[in-house]
Chains A and B, each alone.
Chain A
Amino acid sequence: MSTFRSLPDPNSSLYESRDFIFESALARRALESDFPQLAPFVADLLDATHRLVQSCHLPEFTDHGLPHLCSLVDRISRWELPDDAGILPNSLTPDLARTLLIATLIHDLGMLSQKPEDLSPKDLAKFDLSQWSNTAAWVRSTHVHRLPMLLRRVMCGFSDSYEDFFDRSQPNNIANAIDVAQAHQRWPWEWSGVWQKVPENRGLAAVVSVADLLDEDAARCDTETLLQHREGDELNRAHWIRHILTGNRVMVEKGTIRVELLCPPGVSSEFKPVFSALRNHFRLVSLYEDDLNHINASVTNVHLEPSTGIPQQDVASLVEWSKLDGYANKSAFALQLLRTFMNEALKDSRKYGDETAAKLQIASLEDVDLSLLKHAQGEEEPRTKEEQTFEAIVGPFS
């Protein structure tokens, strides 16, 4: 008599992630608060995130699902405070820990959904999807704006009892967590609203942003598989590749972060600007220094290896990079990676205002040679990505 073998549970990764998060120091601390229904809310939120990842995640993006959330929760839970003051979650009140947990778990939810109906009427006109030629870019630009309505839609789909969570007049609302989560798309000096007048809230928002900023390492995505099998353009591939250039998982250890950078094989001076930008990316943590201080979680030391120039150690899995479309030579490769960085990491002062420039001075960013980027992108008319790639491959005509 034959017996049926049970099928593998497609939700096993959800269960694992849920266990991981509930067992984290941050969650434990949060659950100490007397906030009603917090545990089922977090469980349902993870369930919803899992479902969205399964069905709606755009192939162009790196991971914004449960592994990323686990990584962030883990980074925060193991965040060592300076002066042997223990770990961050334990220094927070249960209510602050709850806000931080929810904010961390929801901060990228918008990246997993693509519905314009979650935009407020004001944003709907500003971000008219039909006028964007690239859905992924629209999703990235609007994910924070869509968060409040998306979260409500998702959670109330589980239970009507969550309605109160989104009603600011109710004592047990999560509006504060949403505000904190939304802050991760702006620099601290750009934060606005009532929420940020509370110093602890600013501290929590800084923690979410820094934890997210540090989630840069190779564990973030399976670069090799992505390159081999996932549909995407040069820029998507560059995002996948960038993660592999950070050799270690970056944690906060008593006010210090240590980053070990790796180099693609066969590249040379063309890659100097890439590593300058990558180092600057980590240095941007300094911009949150004041706000982290509100909760005694400051990161005062950014230790980068190497601190200048190009890393000595190669990433073996990238040995065939020149076979990738749009990566015909080192210039093209460098360009694609440079395009993945924020303007602030590139220290491209043409693209941000004086206020930002002044604030950036705190971060002691190194100068980035932007000549390749400028040549490829042109200085007068915006160019298509293919045009930029071609310009980078060929070089400038004098």
Chain B
Amino acid sequence: MTHGLDEPTHERLLKGLAYLRRHAFNAHHTGDGMQVLHFTSLAVRKCFAYNRKRSNARLDVYDIRWAFILGMYWLRSEAYHYEINFSWDKFAGGKKYEFERNLIVSIHNQLYEPHVPLNDKDIAEIENIPSRLWLTNSSNQGAGNEEDFLALTFLIELIWYQDRDGNRWRRLCSKWIENCPSSHLFKEQLIALFDRLEFQNGFYNFNGFDPNNVTHVPINDRVTRDIFEGWAAYYKQDWQQVASIIARLSLVVNVEMPSYVSLFYLTHLSRISRESKEDQAISIPRFHAVRSKQPLQVFGIYREGHFDSEFLKIAAAGFPKDDFASEGRSCLRVAMLVCLQGLRTWDVGTWWDGLRMSSKIKMELGVRGDNEMAIDGVLDVIRGRDMYDAKKSPLFQKCLKSYDKLDVDQRREIAILLLNAPPAQWRDVHDVFCKFSDAIPEDLYPKLAEWSLMVEETDLLHNHWTHTLLKLWNDILPRATHKKELIVQLAPALKNAIISVRSWDDLHNTIIESIVHAPAPLDSELCDLLVGVNCEQDHWNSYRWSIAYNVLLKRPDLQEKVLPFLVQNTVNRDHQYQRQLLRSEQSKLGLIKRTDDAKFKKSIRDGLLQRLKDRKNLRGSSIPIGGSGFGQLATIVEWPRADRALVDAVVASIDSDKVLFSDKDDYLRFLARLVESGPKTQAKMISACALRWLTNGIPGRSLGFGSRGPLSGSGFAASSQNDVLAPLLVLTECCVRRCPEIFLKVMLEWLPLNTSQFLPTYVYYLASVEFSLVAAAANVSELSATIFSGLSETATQLSIEKKPTDSIWAFNHVVLGTCIEEFTAAAKEKKTWCLMMLAQWNQRLDELSHDASPTVRKSVAESVKLWKKSKLPKDRNLNKVEKRLKHDPRLRVRNVFDR
């Protein structure tokens, strides 16, 4: 017995939709996004099923627009998005409701491509609101055409998000305000939206928390306004004010209120600075407990979950550049919607959550070629106060390099943006400026200096032991065109830095440059300040001594200011090295009787011999810092005459297993110096020792080949990097150049099988040895030269990805430096191996001139400069590279050509 259920009719369907719509809006108003999506999905699917069966008399989009609009407003995952795409064509749509349809399409498009601004054509289609929309009053109870007004405001938010500085959203919003009859409730809402977005533009431009601006903040609700004032106080680091606002708010906000979450973020994130007495181990679980009961917050948690799952999908695949576009967009979309949600309720904490998502995905996607997106990710890190974690991430460091890839106007714009940042972000901005450094356009330096002065003077941590916000000048000041003016401008901050002991390390080069280039009498004043600080700690004083010594080197005219300090600080036995350096410098300046060169060398020789004797039986750690001074000193002096006793003593020390390994570093370098500058017979003797060490190892510690040396055929354990292998390779390189006959054969046998073991860790040293072998073989055997050049290419190729700079330095050092004559001659004779090697490097330099790292580009610039100065054949490409690098964003790269 059944009464038979009727098939749905148009009328019944509309009634059903009206019912769902009412409930969907109720859920919308209570922030229950999950319920909304339940109703909208049900509506869309059922109507789709209804329409699919009918070729005419289909349900119009107009009748179900509320489901499309609410569904997009509460979008959580891709599923609903696909649902709309999938079913859209099955709905009827006549001319009459074209505006409403275009509105939905615009929202859909903005959501679908969350990082692409809507074009003018799309906007033109929705610019004029048809008068029928104004016939029903907007109401908060789901009556009338509330969905239309929700769509209008949502679309403005989306356009604003994607083009905040542009005028599209302003134009559209103003036009709609103008359109709206003054009696209509929506007019006020639109005006409020306009004011809010205009104000919140400042959040993205880093000036939205200007305390002077807070009085104009367009918030009507008292509690929300108070919380925002708390944030403004947070941003200006006025912790007393934050504490007082929180105390006031805690009397009126309770955990059941929606504003609790917003207040919690303020409370929690200012906890340490306010020196809060509350136990966060209680506070945080309470927050989570409350959050789990608020529909809007629960929806946020679902959204975060969706973001994480999509992000992990792409992460698992290693963020391929072209695949996973949908997941990437999904992450960007969720981040955008979370940001908009936070901003809508002036909940800065939620906005930060969105920014963190946004920075994460933008950096991952941007670092693969979209430089603007990468930098936007970096800016979102600062906006979302996520610097503490981000700084540790290699991704963040990579993205910072994208700054160099932007054009000068973009770089200027971003730097100006950051200069607006409120006090809470100053240290983050400073960290970023340290990386942007000399890529910041030069015309901004005066503004940058102004900012430095302001933040140094007013930052709340300026008395802090570790504080300095002047590090950004370390790479700028030595290279800036108008450094004198900058130094004068920065003088008050520099003076403060100079009297701060910690700065002698952090700002070592900046202080030197400041004193050296400061106009009189500022230079003297800075010197006086430096030497006048009372500091007994040797560690810090060594930096000060270094600063003063460098000043003396570059500005001998300031000797009166720095010399007494320098002399006074080299009186004790631990400062022999410094004392000798200083005496040498004084002698050059004629300040003391010019020491006989032979006498000077003798003093070093005697000192070194004495030291070898003293240290022979030491294995402990009671050696004073800087105690190896004679060893270091010996490496900077020419030793043209044979000195068998000294060589024997040094070799014996290296062979001793009772001498500290760290000393052997200096001894090997000293031997290299002897090979370079001494007689051939002595070089041969040392070369034989070098070969022995290369074969048998050096007593005392493994070189990484068990108990033997590299040529023993034992495998290399890269993990056992040590201080001695590098100087041994330096010595080998010198020996190869002076005494090739000892090495060519043995290296020809050994290198092809063992090259890769050292790479990329020792690429500089090994490549230098190989380049030297190429040059040495050039005069002996064409075949050997060809083989060695091939090996050098292998070494380069194996290392260029990870250590491009080391490879270039080795090329510059040997091919364009120590062995340039051999290579020039070979090129002149059109030796194939030589021409091929040069062609490969030509190409390589071209490619590396695009590298993200300024250090790499700088070494390429040095290569190009050396090459152009040489008599080596020059490809046209080289001019191109030179031209490019002369316009490099980095001063350090451009300046290579000025020197």
Query: Residue B844 at the A interface, CB < 8 A?
Result: no
Give the residue name and chain of the B residue nearest to A234 (CB).
B19
A325 touching B7 in the complex, CB below 8 Å, given contacts A384-B38, A394-B46:
no
CB distance A387 to B42 under 8 Å?
A: yes
Binary flags per residue of A319-331, CB closer than 8 Å to B gives 1, else 0: 0000001101101
CB distance A394 to B13 under 8 Å?
A: yes
CB distance A386 to B39 under 8 Å?
A: yes
CB distance B16 to A394 under 8 Å?
A: yes
A269 to B1, CA, bound (A): 12
A390 to B19, CA, bound (A): 7
A395 to B12, CA, bound (A): 8
Query: Residue A55 at the B interface, CB < 8 A?
Result: no
Query: Residue B18 at the A interface, CB < 8 A?
Result: yes
A395 touching B3 in the complex, CB below 8 Å, given contacts A326-B19, A387-B42, A390-B42:
no
Give the residue name and chain of the B residue nearest to A331 (CB).
B5
A64 to B12, CA, bound (A): 37
Binary flags per residue of A349-392, CB closer than 8 Å to B gives 1, else 0: 00000000000000000010101100100000000101101100
CB distance A393 to B23 under 8 Å?
A: no
Give the residue name and chain of the B residue nearest to A372 (CB).
B5
Query: Residue A273 at the B interface, CB < 8 A?
Result: yes
CB distance B42 to A270 under 8 Å?
A: no
Query: Residue B15 at the A interface, CB < 8 A?
Result: yes
Query: Residue B50 at the A interface, CB < 8 A?
Result: yes
Contact of A396 among B5, B15, B38 (CB under 8 A): B5
* Chain A: minimal CB distance from B668 (Å): 73
Residues of chain A within 8 A (CB-CB) of B620 are none
A-B residue pairs, 6 tightest by C-beta: A394-B16, A393-B16, A328-B15, A395-B8, A371-B2, A394-B8
CB distance A398 to B7 under 8 Å?
A: yes
* Chain B: minimal CB distance from A266 (Å): 15
* Chain A: minimal CB distance from B766 (Å): 67
Residues of chain A within 8 A (CB-CB) of B1 are 367, 369
CB distance A386 to B16 under 8 Å?
A: no
Give chain B's interface residues, CB within 8 Å of chain A: 1-9, 12-13, 15-16, 18-20, 22-23, 38-39, 42, 46, 49-50, 53
Which residues in window 289-339 of A have CB below 8 A to B? 325-326, 328-329, 331-332
Give the residue name and chain of the B residue nearest to A268 (CB).
B3
Give the residue name and chain of the B residue nearest to A386 (CB).
B23
A369 touching B16 in the complex, CB below 8 Å, given contacts A386-B23, A394-B8:
no
A390 touching B5 in the complex, CB below 8 Å, given contacts A328-B15, A395-B12:
no
Residues of chain A within 8 A (CB-CB) of B16 are 328, 390, 393-394
CB distance A328 to B18 under 8 Å?
A: yes
Which residues in window 37-65 of A have CB below 8 A to B? none
A100 to B402, CA, bound (A): 86
CB distance A389 to B19 under 8 Å?
A: yes
* Chain A: minimal CB distance from B255 (Å): 17
Residues of chain A within 8 A (CB-CB) of B9 are 395
Query: Residue A4 at the B interface, CB < 8 A?
Result: no
CB distance B50 to A369 under 8 Å?
A: no
Contact of A395 among B6, B22, B42 (CB under 8 A): B6
A381 to B295, CA, bound (A): 24
Q: What are 12 A-B interface contacts by the 8 Å CB criterion? A: A272-B3, A325-B19, A328-B15, A329-B12, A367-B1, A372-B5, A386-B38, A390-B16, A394-B15, A395-B8, A397-B46, A398-B7
A375 touching B5 in the complex, CB below 8 Å, given contacts A328-B19, A397-B50:
yes
Give the residue name and chain of the B residue nearest to A384 (CB).
B38
* Chain A: minimal CB distance from B57 (Å): 15
Give the residue name and chain of the B residue nearest to A396 (CB).
B5
CB distance B5 to A371 under 8 Å?
A: yes
A325 to B18, CA, bound (A): 10
A270 touching B39 in the complex, CB below 8 Å, given contacts A393-B15, A397-B49:
no
Residues of chain B within 8 A (CB-CB) of A396 are 5, 7-8
Give the residue name and chain of the A residue nearest to B11 (CB).
A329
Residues of chain B within 8 A (CB-CB) of A326 are 19
* Chain A: minimal CB distance from B11 (Å): 9
Residues of chain B within 8 A (CB-CB) of A384 are 38
* Chain B: minimal CB distance from A334 (Å): 9
Of B3, B9, B23, B42, most A-chain CB atoms within 10 Å: B3
Residues of chain A within 8 A (CB-CB) of B22 are 325
Give the residue name and chain of the B residue nearest to A326 (CB).
B19
Query: Can you add 13 more A-B contacts, CB < 8 Å, to A328-B19, A389-B19, A393-B16?
Result: A270-B3, A325-B22, A326-B19, A328-B18, A369-B3, A372-B5, A384-B38, A387-B42, A390-B16, A390-B46, A394-B16, A396-B8, A397-B46
CB distance A395 to B15 under 8 Å?
A: no
A398 to B7, CA, bound (A): 7
A394 touching B12 in the complex, CB below 8 Å, given contacts A325-B19, A384-B38, A387-B42:
yes
* Chain B: minimal CB distance from A4 (Å): 38
CB distance A397 to B8 under 8 Å?
A: yes
A398 to B5, CA, bound (A): 11
A220 to B22, CA, bound (A): 31
A56 to B272, CA, bound (A): 44
* Chain A: minimal CB distance from B693 (Å): 75
Of B8, B9, B16, B50, most A-chain CB atoms within 10 Å: B16
Residues of chain A within 8 A (CB-CB) of B53 are 397
CB distance A273 to B20 under 8 Å?
A: no
Give the residue name and chain of the B residue nearest to A325 (CB).
B22
A237 to B3, CA, bound (A): 24
A329 touching B15 in the complex, CB below 8 Å, given contacts A386-B39, A394-B46:
yes
A6 to B2, CA, bound (A): 61
Residues of chain A within 8 A (CB-CB) of B7 are 395-398
A159 to B8, CA, bound (A): 63
* Chain B: minimal CB distance from A234 (Å): 10
Residues of chain A within 8 A (CB-CB) of B2 are 369, 371
Residues of chain A within 8 A (CB-CB) of B8 are 394-397
A331 to B22, CA, bound (A): 19
* Chain A: minimal CB distance from B5 (Å): 5
A372 to B4, CA, bound (A): 8
A371 touching B19 in the complex, CB below 8 Å, given contacts A329-B12, A386-B39, A397-B8:
no
A397 to B52, CA, bound (A): 11
Give the residue name and chain of the B residue nearest to A369 (CB).
B2
CB distance B46 to A395 under 8 Å?
A: no
Which residues in window 251-271 of A have CB below 8 A to B? 269-270
Residues of chain A within 8 A (CB-CB) of B13 are 394
Residues of chain A within 8 A (CB-CB) of B38 are 384, 386-387
A393 touching B42 in the complex, CB below 8 Å, given contacts A272-B3, A273-B3:
no
* Chain A: minimal CB distance from B27 (Å): 9
Residues of chain A within 8 A (CB-CB) of B5 are 331, 371-372, 375, 395-396
Residues of chain B within 8 A (CB-CB) of A390 are 16, 19-20, 42, 46
Residues of chain B within 8 A (CB-CB) of A270 are 3
* Chain A: minimal CB distance from B50 (Å): 7
* Chain A: minimal CB distance from B291 (Å): 16
Give the residue name and chain of the B residue nearest to A276 (CB).
B1
* Chain A: minimal CB distance from B550 (Å): 71
* Chain A: minimal CB distance from B884 (Å): 64
